[in-house]
Every structure is written in structure tokens, then in C-alpha cells.
Amino acid sequence: MDYLIHHMLLSSAERYPDKEALVDTVQRFKYGQAAKESGAIATGLRNVGVKRGDRVGIWVESSVLQAISILGTSQSGGVFVPINSLLFPDQASHIMRDCGTVGLITTKEKIALCSEVLKTLPSLQFIVSINGKPDCDAKVPVYLLTEILSAEAGCKPRDLRIEKDLAAILYTSGSTGKPKGVMLSHGQVMAGSSIVSDYLDIASSERIIGVLPLSFDAGLNQLMTAVQQGGTYVPMTFTFAREIVKTLEREQITGMAGVPTLWSLMTQPNSTLERTPMPHLRYITNTGGRMPQTILRDLRRLLPSTKIFLMYGLTEAFRSTYLPPEELDCRPESMGKAIPNTEILVVNEKGERCAPGEVGELVHRGPTVSMGYWGQAELTDKVLRPHPFNPPELGDSEKVCYSGDLVKMDEEGFLYFIGRRDNMIKCSGYRVSPTEVEEVLFQSGKLREAGVIGIPDPVLGQAIKAYVVPRDGEAVDAQALSSFCAERMPRYMVPKAIQIMESLPKTPSGKVDYPYLRSRYSSE
């Protein structure tokens, strides 16, 4: 019986020991070998001190080793914390400090890059380097991956955990402050795999390319659905879209997930997609923001035999809705309806169900609703609340997820996205906190005030615009400030536009008036 994440790998290894499981440009693991390597990492992690429930950060680019490290951490009894490889040292260290990681699996280059920051993490007990010893002092023991893999496995311990135990923490930006850790149980991750496999008809014949990071819920789900169904997962990093097209063709990929910015790149002439037949590409999915209609039309033209699924979701509850391919002609702007085994409620300000056409908050009910935010009980209670329409006899026995997204439902039950309740920015499929961008802007030492908003962008969904006020006596150059940000944040967080002002509008309480800034942009 599979009830823990790594059980999916072990079961598939029993069914398909000689079938390809994980493939990248360096390694090709069959299921039997993947299970063996995962078990070796699990034993190695236990031997260096990982105990049940300990958090292990995994800061590695998309690869077979990253996937095996996640599955091995699960098998060790630990909790895996994928860290986006694009993050800078301060951002990665925030994640590790926030959830108290005891171990870190990464590369020698990243260890050298953030050796000083790593010394400030009180919980960190060891580091595992996947590609050699770093040329620096990391304060804690640094093991080579080959060293812990060579450890004697000994007697395999009996698994005492159950599906309700914590399995993973995925960090996502909130409306204020630094990213928050969304806690996922084994059961929630596996339920997400089963649900997606249901409506995408994923089977053991599937070959799924992984271009979304595993720190992103949709990216992690691709790995998990492939492993659960005995399919093949092909992780990759890329610089140009044509590299993806080559991999799609070479590996005979059948399924791919992306965000609008990626699909925009794929439809450009230099991607070579137009010149490369893809009869094997059975389906593609879009998440992380609304698909622009021009890009959707181009994809349908370039991939005439490929099914296109438009999806909506949030890390706190995984996927919520999807639009079947056969509905694209009728309602291409729709988010679709609820995924299987899930109910989507639309609730107004009075806590009542919305009538068709009435705008309200999307509330997600189902087995993928997360365990909440690590160390953030007050915030968890705001997002995960008792079911609003359950009989009083049930009390608060069931929690549902209040998404913060405003939607409306038509007469046939199809949903349409309207906007966000808070100031969150959705750029390139990532949720970006205005506060986090503002903090970096202030680090320049040249600003007295800063206000960051999201502005409409046909490809990015939203682009980031910053309104800034220089400190007295400071000369601020917008391009130089943008370059300063680019050295400290991933590209998707860097403001696309910076406007210098004499002062920022304020609310009566003295805070930056973000609605006014948004209306100012609209009038501009």
C-alpha cells in the first residue's frame, strides 16, 4: 500500500524495474536503479544525523540528482525543502533559517557563493555537495554525495510515519514580508498526483519534461505523477527555447507544463517549434497566470495534435481548476471547473455563496488543502478556515483554503479570474511580494521611499513597476537602480520600470497608498 511519497517510487520499481524513470543530459536511471540510489541517499542522510521530521534543504538545479535527493530525503524520514536554484544567498538563507534546516544538499559552487551566510544558520548541522569539495570553510561538515552513498545500508528501518506526516515545505511569497513555507503532508502530495493523473490520463507510457522548478508546486507535481504512474521524468535547465524543443524531440516527450512566459518563448520563430513536428506531444498545460489569447492561438496552430489544458492553482491548495481542451473554443478566458475530488466555492463578503456572475473569493475544498504555513499560526488561520457551509454539528472538523483570488462563476459553473484581494504580483508564474522587492530597493541606500505594484503585461501576466523617492541629496538613476536589483534578486523579481518621484501618496495612517499608485498607472 502506497501512503508515503517514496512508496510510489518503490512500487513503480517493483512493477517496472528496467523502465526509464529519470533522465537528464548526464544520467539515465531505470526504476530499479532510481530506487537503489534513493535508498542509498536515505541511509546516508540517516547516518549523518537526519531524524524523523528534520528539514533538509535541496538547492540544486533541475536534474536527476535533484529528484533523487527529494525522494531519498522522504525515504530517510526527513522533510524536503526544495530551494529554487535562481535564488540568491540571502533569499536561500532566509528559507533555511525560517524552517530550521539541519542539512543542505547543494553544489560546491553554491557553498562557496554563500559560505559566510551558511555560517549564520544555527540549525545547520551538515552539507552534502553533489559535485566535489568546496574551496572554503562552511563551519559545518561538508560530505561528498559519493561519501554518503557509499555508507553501508544495514537493516532497513520500519517506516513509522503515516500519510498525515509532514513531507515537504514549499516557499511562496506572501502579500507582505519574506516568503512563507507552505507545509504539505505525504497524503496531500500523493492526492495531487492522483488527481492530475486522472484528468490528464497519465499512464506508465508518459514521458514528462520538467522545465518548471521543483520548488514550484506544479513542477513538483510533474515529478510525483511520473513516479506514481511509472512514467519517465526528464528534468532540464535551459537558456533558449530551442533547447527545450530539441529535448522534446530527442526524448519523445508526451507531456509538458509551462507558464505564460515560457509559452511565449516557445511560440517565437527562433524556438524552432514551427519547424519541428511533435506528433508524440500528447498534452501541454498552462499554470501560473492567464494564457494570452494570441499565444494560445499560436500554440494551437503549432501543435495541432496536442491537447492544451488551461489550469489554475495556488501552492496552499495545489491545483484548483482546469479547462478541458474541448472547451477552448467556447470559453478560452475561463479557468474551467474544479479538478476531480475537489469542490470550488465562490463566497462573498457576507460569507454567502455567490450567485452566477457575482464576484467573490475562491475557496478551495479537497484533499490537497495544505497543512498551513511553517511557524505562522496566525497567517495559517487567516487562509485555512472552517468550512463555511458545513452543518454546525461538524464544528470545524474540516478546513478549506481561502485563496485571496476574486472570481466569478457563470450559469454553467465555469469560473473566471477577476483579480487579487491583496497587493501580490503574479509575474512569469511566480508570486512576488511588493515588500520583498522594496526591501532590496532600499538596500541601495539611495531611497527615502519606495512603492512597488504589478502592472498588466501581455506576456508576463503582470510586470513589476517601482515608484521611488530619492533620499535628500542623492541622485538616483533608474537604470543603475535596476542593475543593483538584478545583482540581488532573480530576474522575475527585478522591476521592469522604475519611476522617480518627489513623494509617494499616503493613506490616512501614513502608509503607501498602493491603490492610488495602481490608479495613477492606469491614468498614465
Q: Does 57 fall in a domain? A: yes
Q: Which of 420, 448, 468 is the last residue of a domain?
A: 420
Strand 372-373 vs strand 180-185: parallel, antiparallel, or unpaired? Answer: antiparallel
Shared-domain flag, residues 387 and 515 = no
Shared-domain flag, residues 53 and 115 = yes
Looking at every residue in the chain, the average pLDDT score rounds to 92
Residue 345 identity (one-letter amino acid) = L
**What band does 278 get if pLDDT is binned at 50, 70 and 90?**
very high
Q: Does 413 fall in a domain? A: yes
**What band does 509 get if pLDDT is binned at 50, 70 and 90?**
low
Range of the domain at 119: 5-161+168-184
Average pLDDT of span 238-245 = 94
Between CA 178 and CA 406 the distance in angstroms is 23
Shared-domain flag, residues 121 and 10 = yes
More confident site: 9 or 521: 9
**What band does 355 get if pLDDT is binned at 50, 70 and 90?**
very high
- Evaluate whether 295 touches 308 at the Cβ level (below 8 Å): no
Q: Name which of 215-224, 329-338, 341-350, 444-453 the model is least confident about.
A: 444-453
**What band does 510 get if pLDDT is binned at 50, 70 and 90?**
low
Amino acid 142: pLDDT? 93
Q: Could you tell me the CATH number of the domain that includes residue 491?
A: 3.30.300.30
Residues 326, 331, 336, CA angle at the centre, nearest 5°?
75
Q: Give yes or no for residue 251 having a pLDDT over 90.
A: yes
Between CA 58 and CA 93 the distance in angstroms is 12
Amino acid 150: pLDDT? 65
CA–CA distances in Å: residue 13 to residues 20, 68, 78: 10, 14, 21
Strand 360-365 vs strand 372-373: parallel, antiparallel, or unpaired? Answer: unpaired
Shared-domain flag, residues 287 and 173 = no
Amino acid 29: pLDDT? 98
Q: Could you tell me the CATH number of the domain that includes residue 305?
A: 3.40.50.12780
Shared-domain flag, residues 272 and 333 = yes
Between CA 243 and CA 254 the distance in angstroms is 16
Say how many domains are in the chain: 3
Q: Does 194 fall in a domain? A: no
Terminal-to-terminal C-alpha distance of the chain: 60
Three-class SS state of 272: coil
Average pLDDT of span 270-275 = 94
Amino acid 152: pLDDT? 58
Average pLDDT of span 480-505 = 92
**What band does 135 get if pLDDT is binned at 50, 70 and 90?**
confident
Shared-domain flag, residues 358 and 246 = yes
Q: Does 225 fall in a domain? A: no
Shared-domain flag, residues 394 and 440 = no
Q: Does 274 fall in a domain? A: yes
Q: Does 199 fall in a domain? A: no
Average pLDDT of span 34-51 = 95
Q: Which of 364, 391, 420 is the last residue of a domain?
A: 420
Nearest to 218 by CA among 317, 352, 354, 342: 317
Q: Which residue has the cell 535547465?
A: 237
Average pLDDT of span 226-233 = 98
**What band does 512 get if pLDDT is binned at 50, 70 and 90?**
confident
Average pLDDT of span 207-225 = 96
Amino acid 205: pLDDT? 97
Q: Does 211 fall in a domain? A: no
Q: Does 406 fall in a domain? A: yes
Q: Give yes or no for residue 65 having a pLDDT over 70.
A: yes
Shared-domain flag, residues 410 and 430 = no
Average pLDDT of span 261-278 = 91
Q: Name which of 308-322, 410-424, 436-450, 500-514 the model is least confident about.
A: 500-514
Amino acid 353: pLDDT? 96
Q: Could you tell me the CATH number of the domain that includes residue 179?
A: 3.40.50.980
Q: Which three cell numbers stand for residue 65?
A: 540528482
Shared-domain flag, residues 369 and 395 = yes
Average pLDDT of span 115-120 = 90
Backbone angles phi, psi at 470, to 5 degrees: -65, 150
Shared-domain flag, residues 130 and 105 = yes
